[in-house]
Amino acid sequence: MSLENFFDPQSIAVVGASTRKGKVGHEIVTGMIKAGYRGKIFPVNPKADTIAGLKCYADLQSIEEIPELVIIVVPARIVPMIMQQCTEIGAKSVIIITAGFKEVGEEGRKLEQQIIQIARRGSIRVLGPNCLGVIVPGKRLNASFGGDLPATGTIGYISQSGALLAAILDMADANGIGFSKLVSIGNKADIDELDMINALGADPDTKVIAGYLENISDGNAFVNEADKISHDKPIILIKSGGTSAGAKAASSHTGSLAGGETAYECVFERAGVIRCNSIKQQLDYAQTFANQPLPAGSAVAVVTNAGGPGIMAADAIEQQGLTFAVLNNETVQRLAGGLPTAANVYNPVDVLGDALADRYEFSINVVVDDPNVDTVLVLLTPQAMTEPVSTAEAIVKVARRKTIKPILACFLGAAKVTEGIEVLRQGKIPQYNSPESAVAAIKVMAEYVRWCSRPKRVVKLFPVNRRKVESVIEKHLRQATREIDETESKEILEAYGFVTPKGSIATSAEQAVNIAEQLGYPVVLKVWSPEISHKSDVGGVRVGLNNASAVMDAFDLMMYRIGKKVPEANILGVLVQQMCTGGKEVILGMNRDRRLGPLMMFGMGGTMVEVLKDVSFHLAPLTADEAKQMLVSTRTYKMLEGVRGEEGVDIDAIAEGLQRLSQLVTEFPQIQELDINPYVVGPQGTTPVAVDARMSVEKI
């Protein structure tokens, strides 16, 4: 169902309209009038005849026509009754401003479920409850209590917090930033962030989508839809509400390292979403995308009237991983012919402290023409000869004449540059209060361009034995056992092409020796108990056992010490296993986020993984390039490549292991957590070995 009635309704009923100034029901009605809304407004209040000069109605049924949009501002307990009236008159679009629903507890949650059930019976779309409303500057629509109507622009904004949206409106007004649409989604009982992102993605008046979210309702749907929209319009989000509580409850290494915020980072990266840490940063980025063309690459040229700010910009460009543009000979010669002898004609171009507007205009024109330059950053400090207003006008003139490259400005100072900054804003030139902020915006634009031009994702599928995995998982679900032991975890891995060391369970020292001699020395002993997750923590792992005597001693000592240390554990025996020698130990893992899906992990393995925390994450399913990037993004990747003459390991083999694991957890959503630690990988051409593994499953 279209959301057009929320953005361009021809008639609006306000149920709970009030005669008293300062009440939400009064501010919404008067706010629409003040904004110049051109449609019909129907205040609904049985105790009033008129409100703000408009005829008042006792109820929705009294209105002579069906309002295209109904705004509800009555106490929470009355909202179900009003929703029922909406169904009776045939209203199809409702904004519930009222708070007091699931955000206040269980009773509120039940009330919210009730109103949504009514809405679904009547095929009504609901925004809210507990929201600020909707603002569409271009339609003169202020269906909110967020204050005055902002300027019209091309940024569409979605917010899960009404109060934050009001603050954003105030900040944007102070910085001359306009919007196409602003929507407060509140509790997202019906319409959620994805509905609105889709609506803004299809909106011809919106060039940039921005927003504030505390959570995402459906991670898989969000990734799929946001990925499509991001190729046409940048999506710039603030995401708050991260918590480590989930990590504390996790039983696997991967689960304890993959906090909720890590999952969101991976979702945003996959979908091409630009994440911000503050409102200021978000508005900085949004105004750049809204008002300037995209750069062809990452090469930046700086034009400045002072050496210090130019050096600051150069440092920021290098630190952000951008390219400091090398001006070609023609550009250098043109600059040398038009600038004073003392000026620097190389990047950064220093036009000197006595530069007037004409010198700036000449230099910017020349630099923009250089094919080695993708973006131009203009810096200005207010010195005695400086002309901030005229210089700003010159920048705007050049930008309008040469529209294929982004031009950004940073006028440093306060009172002396205020009028010039206003000229820049009017001329749609993004202005920043520091070189670092400007360069950060340039970096985001360059990264967005790279993301949009990436090759199409191709996920390889390996031949596997799904039936074997199904049988193991179904058995555990029938028995209501969440944890899958090491032996059966390895059976699952073997079904997906992993190699595991041979081994068997021993219940006596003599049996352990027999198994060891069949396998061949050296061997490893591991305690076998469903109550012991991390065997090393309780002394439940012994490695490098080279003879029968060593195996017997290790078995007896292990059973004695663990029995004392973990008396409540049910020790079923000891796993005697072939020992892998040589190679590097890494960890492959997965933790499934309830909303966002399976999160793959890679890092250096062994017992120190949670101490070093040198790990990387990516959302499954993985392509070959994404799996490889997971390795490259760790600090210890160089160790895998080989350092100081040491032979490196088979990088492609590790990447393939990640892809196989990604396929497993994608095809079996019952798997909630998974670790292969260590995953021992040797030189090129050798076969990696999954030495230890553990999994947990749940019904879906």
Higher pLDDT, 261 or 591: 591
Tokens of 624: 């070959």
- Of 578, 610, 637, the one marking the end of a domain is 578
Tell me the Ramachandran region of residue 463: left when phi exceeds 0, alpha when psi lies from -120 to 50, beta otherwise: beta
In terms of Cβ atoms closer than 10 Å to its own Cβ (0-12, 13-18, 19+), residue 27 is: buried
Tell me the pLDDT band of 607, cut-offs 50, 70 and 90: low
pLDDT digits (tens, 9 = 90+) for 129-138: 999 999 999 9
Contacts of 318 (CB under 8 A, 6+ apart): 324
> Do residues 62 and 43 make contact, with C-beta atoms less than 8 angstroms apart?
no
CATH number of residue 599's parent domain: 3.30.470.20
Task: Please check whether residues 244 and 307 belong to one and the same domain.
Answer: no
CATH number at residue 51: 3.40.50.720
Mean pLDDT, residues 506-516: 93
pLDDT per position as a tens digit, 266-323: 999 999 999 999 999 999 999 999 999 999 999 999 999 999 999 999 999 999 999 9
- Residue 366 is predicted with a pLDDT of 97
Give the end of a domain, one of 517, 544, 578.
578
What confidence tens digit (pLDDT) does each residue in 363-406 have? 999 999 999 999 999 999 999 999 999 999 999 999 999 889 99
Domain with 335, as residue range(s), is 294-452
Q: Is residue 145 part of a domain?
A: no
Residue 353 counted as domain residue:
yes
Q: Is residue 661 within 8 Å of 496, Cβ to Cβ?
A: yes
Indicate whether 403 and 343 sit together in one domain. Answer: yes
CATH for 514: 3.30.1490.20
Q: Is residue 140 part of a domain?
A: no
Residues 298, 281, single domain; the answer is no
The string of DSSP codes covering 612-637 is H--EEEEESSPPHHHHHHHHHTSTTH
- Do 563 and 414 belong to one domain? no
Report yes or no: 690 and 499 within 8 Å, Cβ to Cβ. Answer: yes
* Coil vs helix vs strand at 106: helix
Crossing angle of helices 548-565 and 509-519, in 10° steps, is: 130
Domain membership flag for residue 299: yes
Query: Looking at the structure, do residues 117 and 164 belong to the same domain, yes or no?
Result: no
Same domain, 215 and 230: yes
The percentage of residues in the chain with a pLDDT greater than 90, rounded to a whole number, is 80
353/275 same-domain check: no
Run of H or E including 504: strand 503-506
Reported as a pLDDT band with limits 50, 70 and 90, residue 612 is low
Residue 645 and residue 518 in one domain: no
Predicted TM-score of the model (pTM) = 0.88
Any idea which residue has 């021809």 for tokens?
Answer: 10
Are 661 and 525 part of one and the same domain? no
Compute the residue count for the chain.
Answer: 700
Give me the number of domains the chain comprises: 5
In the chain, pLDDT over 70 holds for what percent of residues? 96
Last residue of a domain, one of 578, 612, 633: 578
User: How would you class 460 by CB atoms within 10 Å of its CB: exposed for 0-12, middle for 13-18, buried for 19 or more?
Assistant: middle
The pLDDT value given to residue 580: 85
pLDDT at 252 over 60: no
User: Does 5 fall in a domain?
Assistant: yes
Angstrom CA distances, 62 to 13, 38, 57, 578, stand at 11, 22, 6, 83
Domain-located, residue 616: yes
Question: Tell me, what's the pLDDT at 256?
Answer: 42
Structural domain contains residue 350: yes
The pLDDT assigned to 247 comes to 37
90 and 180 in a common domain: no
- CATH code at position 207: 3.40.50.261
Residues in CB range of 191: below 8 A, 6 or more apart: 3, 125, 126, 127, 185
